[in-house]
Copies of this chain bind each other. A is one copy, B any other.
Amino acid sequence: MALLLKTDIERGDAWQRALHAADPDMTVHDWPYDGDPAEIEFALVWGPPRGALRRFADLKAIFSIGAGIDHLASDPELPDGVPVVRMVEPGLTAGMTEFVILGVLTHHRFMLDYAAQQRTRIWREIPQIAAARRRVGIMGLGVLGSEAADKVAALGFAVAGWSRSPKERPGISTFHGEAGLEPFLARSDILVCLLPLTVETEGILNARTFAALPRGAALVSTGRGGHVVEADLLAALDSGQIGGATLDVFREEPLPPESPFWAHPRVILTPHVASMTIPDSAAEAVVANIRRLRAGQPLHHVVDLRRGY
């Protein structure tokens, strides 16, 4: 019995090494695999072709290499009844927390404005407001959103979180559901999106959302490109309703060279690098989960495919 690994080519060796270190007895086959389908017990994958996992009749679990599982949920031919497990591992969480703090501080400290002043050699202080009076709003209070919320709050910011269902978290104001969205947005000077991409959250960052924010609010978009209605974001940036944005994810990736985001003076653009699964820590998490299953315990972090996360 073996694990089938489908990752990007550059990281294949690191994953092989990490999985071997985490469980030297586990056989790992690289994708594509032409051997006996019955040998494959687990799949650890990113973006498998539609229907490609169906032929493994003895598959016991599908592990997503990324935190998001939209690459799997969007496959209508995913094998029935096989649990799908989202990636939860400390490296991925820490990386996202870093990126969110960086994005929040960049806008809080007016770094886009100071960069513009630097280009024109202007030495001028912009009155700084205290973190306690800067309201950060985090959409999504899953593993990534909760950790980011805690760490941003630890820096003294006034942090609120919004999620589909009610959640409570010490030190964080929480809002939920359709009814909670507008009051949440109205108090968010810096909006961070860490939602999963689902049918419900597709296009959630749209003109109505932006209009509900305080004028000049900043956006840190690190969930999925599908959350953003890009034309609406451009209009909000051009009108000044959105004062600045850190954009890491896009509808089409790589972002086409003709996209107006590249040269927008109020946009900081990164190529989907906010956080990456780290093979070493991730392999340990996957192997621990497999051991749980073998010991007859329930798998951790199994996704509800209908809900989409």
Binding site for B on A (CB under 8 A): 91, 94-95, 97-99, 101-102, 105-106, 108-109, 111, 114-115, 117-118, 121, 123-126, 128, 130-131, 151, 154-156, 253-255, 257, 262-263, 268-273, 276, 278
Cβ of B102 and Cβ of A98 under 8 Å apart? no
Q: How far is the CB of A283 from chain B (nearest CB, A)?
A: 14
Cβ of B156 and Cβ of A114 under 8 Å apart? no
**Interchain Cβ contacts under 8 Å between A and B, 15 examples:** A91-B130, A94-B156, A97-B155, A98-B105, A101-B155, A102-B111, A105-B105, A114-B268, A114-B269, A115-B268, A123-B254, A124-B271, A125-B273, A128-B273, A130-B278
Cβ of B108 and Cβ of A105 under 8 Å apart? no
Cβ of B155 and Cβ of A114 under 8 Å apart? no
Q: How far is the CB of A12 from chain B (nearest CB, A)?
A: 14
Q: How far is the CB of A231 from chain B (nearest CB, A)?
A: 19
User: What residue in chain B is nearest A98 (Cβ atoms)?
Assistant: B105
Cβ of B254 and Cβ of A131 under 8 Å apart? no
Cβ-defined partner of A118 (8 Å) among B117, B124, B268: B268
Cβ of A118 and Cβ of B262 under 8 Å apart? yes
Q: 6 closest Cβ contacts across the A-B interface?
A: A123-B254, A102-B105, A123-B271, A118-B269, A121-B257, A121-B262
* A268 partner residues in chain B, CB cutoff 8 A: 111, 114-115, 118
Q: How far is the CB of A175 from chain B (nearest CB, A)?
A: 26
* A126 partner residues in chain B, CB cutoff 8 A: 273
* A253 partner residues in chain B, CB cutoff 8 A: 123
Q: Which of A118, A262, A271 has the most CB of B within 10 A?
A: A118
11 extra A-B contacts, CB within 8 A, seeds A114-B273, A118-B270, A123-B255: A98-B108, A98-B131, A102-B109, A102-B111, A111-B270, A114-B268, A121-B257, A123-B254, A124-B271, A125-B273, A130-B278
Cβ of B128 and Cβ of A95 under 8 Å apart? yes
Q: How far is the CB of A57 from chain B (nearest CB, A)?
A: 36
* A276 partner residues in chain B, CB cutoff 8 A: 128
Distance in angstroms between the alpha carbons of A124 and B271 in the assembled complex: 6
User: What residue in chain B is nearest A273 (Cβ atoms)?
Assistant: B125
A101-B105, A105-B101, A117-B271 known; A94+B257 contact, CB < 8 A:
no
